[in-house]
Amino acid sequence: MIVVLSKGISPHDKEIVGGFLRDRGFSVREQALGDDQFISASGKGSADIGELTLLPGVERVAATSKPYELASRETRAEDTIVTVGGYDSIPAVSVGGSRISIIAGPCAVESREQILETAYRVRESGAVILRGGAFKPRTSPYAFQGLGMKGLEFMKAAGETCGMPIVTEVVSPELADQMKDLTDMFQIGARNMQNFELLKRVGAIGKPVLLKRGPSATIEEWLLSAEYLLASGTRDVVLCERGIRTFETYTRNTLDISAIPVVKGLSHLPVIVDPSHAVGIRAKVTPAALAAVAAGADGLTVEVHPRPDEALSDGPQSLYPEQFERLLRDIEALAPVVGKELLRTPLPHQHSGRKEGIVFLSSAAEPVPSPGAVSAPVAFSGESGAFAELALMRAFGEEVPRLSCPGFGAVFDAVLDGSAAAGVVPVENSLAGSIHENYDLFLRYPDVAIVGELKLRIVHCLIGDEKAELDSIRVVRSHPQGFIQCREFLDKHPEWHPEPYYNTAAAVASILRESGDRTRVAAIAGEAAATAHGLKVLKTGIETNPLNYTRFVIITRRVGYDISGRMGCDTFRRQETGRAPVPPSLGSDKPNKASLVFSVSDEPGSLFACLKILSERGINLSKLESRPIQGQPWRYLFYVDVSIPDKPELFDAAMDELKTKSEDFHSLGIYRASL
């Protein structure tokens, strides 16, 4: 039994609750999980739940049906997000929630040079936590056992150099105390999943723990091992599925993909997957990794080695750095389909490293601020549950403070006057096209620039009162874009009268304010809006095309802007290096996309001359759209998205020449494109 205590409970009231339980035959242990304080009551005692609930300082009592009480979703309904790092030059990395976190590195630390080279390579590809074994439990006593504490020191130094927290395996309770100051996260390996003395000791230290599933362990045994860690004192446990032993011999283990959704239904703890140990064959790691992401994994831990053929441990299953980079690009493309975003953290503002002719260079001119350091909120248009809010959380994390605005213009206002550190606005939908209102706002607010983007899959639902049915509905409310994206579904119900709203979530909230019969009113919005306002999803997936995505951009106040409205290439760079704040999942030291606006003279070939400038320098044009210039009939502005080539000087030269061939040239921003 778990007794959830009220926030701010006094020591006196806490002692009363503990004494009540002890007097009735329970063993009592105080525990904290996230921001919640618990008293865990175990043993053969018996108590009246109603009487216990009435005690001062008791918020609720969770009598779980599972033997793993602290790990159970019955005790904590919301997902736990584990934070690793977050000190000095090491950024905080979140595991869980709406972002996919990638852990990567070699199986074993072999030398200072090897771990540093690997760290650089995986960091530049997008890994956010560095893995590596200093102590290696091996089946054969003659196999490489690791470098021990010296190897851990090498790994710690590599993590600090590359701006990555580290995770490494601990193999005995005695070593846990020696290692605690050198690692950011302990890993409990598959062989030690049921080493209960090790679990208790590591749990008591209180650091985050990555708990691998044993090769023959059931899911319940796995979760009970997590319970040992939570009951011993740590708040942060990440579960890792790494394959189980079956009769199959074509792979090293059998990756239990079904365990991911099963465990996420049973427990609030984040679940990641180790495809390297699951399959044991380099060529099979990528498909297994993508399958894990599709099944809902919160992250991956992948073995990467710069020269796998020379690896002292697990070379056949280690990816080459080039393969790892391709894998992350595939994950970045897949993530929006499953409602997630690949987590990226700011690269450190420092140095280049060199190993055998390979140059590893962080080209960030200035360190990018972390959202955790932002005191002002991030603005979005709409009410709680809006798609823009989902995009905001996907980019900045669930914990970021948020500012709800009544419209898109209010988001720009909040960014401009400083009441919001950044804003999130939609600019394009894959079915309905550009959202022209926001493109026009960029011209009205020249001090605001795009600093990032992400694509969100839009799944529309028909939402109504608990007692509503499809036959009772007569009025449907939504944003006009919602009506356009669900046209085929609405055409099947000509008896419904559409009422446009400025935001889909606001349309859902309006049902609660309805003075008449609520069963006659429904709204089109996302499932999150129904949850936020306590309403029922009558039908899900009503969009005309399931390939329905909206492109959102992150906006901030522009730095280094020429108020005349014309932007030179030097100012481009000042805008980017001075921006604040860019979310880790979107920010990058290598912007690869620019959004531009310009007009051309009214003469033959003027637009062609501008596009020819881009073509001759190999700059890809990904969007070209015209919009009428207000107050100037039959004259148009051209909105253009272009890719930035690997050689920035080509882009600089193109922008210089484009200014001479165009009129009213503006930059909406330079940023990292999402796939």
Mean pLDDT, the chain, rounded, equals: 87
Residue range 334-383, pLDDT digits in tens: 998 898 889 988 777 543 343 333 333 333 322 333 444 446 899 999 88
Give the tens place of pLDDT for each residue, 254-285.
Answer: 999 999 999 999 999 999 999 999 999 999 99
pLDDT of res. 389 = 94
Any idea what the CATH number is for the domain that residue 279 is in?
Answer: 3.20.20.70
Mean of pLDDT values over 82-96: 92
Residue 404 domain flag: yes
Pair 475, 449 in one domain: no
pLDDT (mean) for 19-44: 79
In a domain, residue 368? The reply is no
User: Per-residue b/e over 468-499, b at no fewer than 16 CB within 10 Å?
Assistant: beeebbebbbbbebbbbbbeebbeeeeebeee
Pick from 327, 366, 352: which is nearest to 125 by CA? 327
Beta strands in 14-86 (DSSP E): 27-33, 36-42, 58-62, 82-84
Nearest to 533 by CA among 386, 363, 416, 349: 386
- Which residue in 380, 550, 556, 598 is the catalytic one? 550
Number of independent structural domains in the chain: 4
Q: Establish if 102 belongs to a structural domain.
A: yes
Question: What percentage of the chain exceeds 90 in pLDDT?
Answer: 63
Q: Which of 66, 57, 51 is nearest to 10 (CA)?
A: 57
Same domain, 535 and 473: yes
Sorted by sequence, the CB contacts under 8 Å of residue 535 that are 6+ apart come out as: 463, 464, 465, 466, 508, 511, 512
Residues 492 and 556 in one domain: no
Domain final residue pick, 335, 365, 386: 335
pLDDT at site 180: 95
Cα–Cα distance measured from residue 502 to residue 522, given in angstroms and rounded to the nearest whole number? 15
Considering the chain, what percentage of its residues have pLDDT values greater than 70? Answer: 90
Nearest Cα residue to 404 out of 425, 393, 389: 389
Collapsed DSSP state (helix, strand, coil) of residue 535: coil
Does 289 lie in the same domain as 220?
Answer: yes
Distance CA(153)–CA(257), nearest Å, equals 35
Query: If you count them, how many residues does the chain have?
Result: 675
488 and 560 housed in the same domain: no
End-to-end alpha carbon distance in the chain: 46
pLDDT class of 621 with cuts at 50, 70, 90: very high
Same domain (yes/no): 189, 283: yes
Which of 540, 575, 606 is the C-terminal boundary of a domain? 540
Is 552 marked active-site?
yes
In this predicted structure, what is the pLDDT of residue 26? Answer: 84
Highest-confidence segment of 3-12, 140-149, 216-225, 546-555: 216-225
Shared-domain flag, residues 484 and 435: no
Measured from the Cβ of residue 167, the count of other Cβ atoms closer than 10 Å reads: 25
Q: How many CB atoms lie within 10 A of CB 97?
A: 22
Task: Check whether residue 523 and residue 599 sit in a common domain.
Answer: no
Beta strand pairing call for 237-241 and 271-273:
parallel
Residue 363 lies in a domain: no
The answer to whether residue 451 is domain-embedded is yes
CATH of the domain at 535: 3.40.190.10
Of 335, 364, 397, the one marking the end of a domain is: 335
Q: What is the mean pLDDT of residues 305-322?
A: 94
* Greater model confidence, 539 or 78: 539
| pTM listed for this prediction | 0.74
Does residue 49 lie within any of the structural domains?
A: yes
- Of the given ranges (86-90, 406-410, 567-571), which has the lowest mean pLDDT? 567-571
User: What is the predicted pLDDT for the residue at 551?
Assistant: 93
Tell me: cis bond preceding 261? Omega within 30 of 0 counts: no
In this predicted structure, what is the pLDDT of residue 351? 38
Query: 394 with 585: CB under 8 angstroms?
Result: yes
Q: Looking at the structure, do residues 119 and 170 belong to the same domain, yes or no?
A: yes
Nearest Cα neighbor of 84 from 190, 187, 172 is 187
Catalytic annotation, pick one of 135, 186, 412, 552: 552
Mean pLDDT, rounded, for 160-181: 95
Q: What is the pLDDT of residue 7?
A: 83
Residue at 558 is within a domain: yes
Query: How does pLDDT run across 497-544, given as a tens digit for each residue?
Result: 999 998 899 999 999 998 889 999 999 999 999 999 999 999 999 999
Q: Are residues 49 and 91 in the same domain?
A: no
Tell whether 444 and 577 lie within a shared domain: yes
Spatial distance between the Cα atoms of 421 and 401, rounded to a whole number of angstroms: 10
Predicted confidence (pLDDT) at residue 161 exceeds the cutoff of 90: yes
3-state helix, strand, coil in the chain (%, to 5): 35, 25, 40
Residue found by looking up tokens 């395996």 in the block? 169
Both 415 and 440 in one domain: the answer is yes
Q: Which two tokens stand for residue 47?
A: 């108590």
Q: What is the DSSP letter of 335?
A: G
Q: Which domain holds residue 469?
A: 461-540
Contact 535, 464 (CB under 8 A): yes
DSSP 538-556: EEE--SS-S--EEEEEEEE
Question: Per the domain annotation, does 75 fall within a domain?
Answer: no
d(CA 167, CA 300) in angstroms, rounded, equals 13
Query: CATH number of the domain that 54 lies in?
Result: 3.30.70.1140
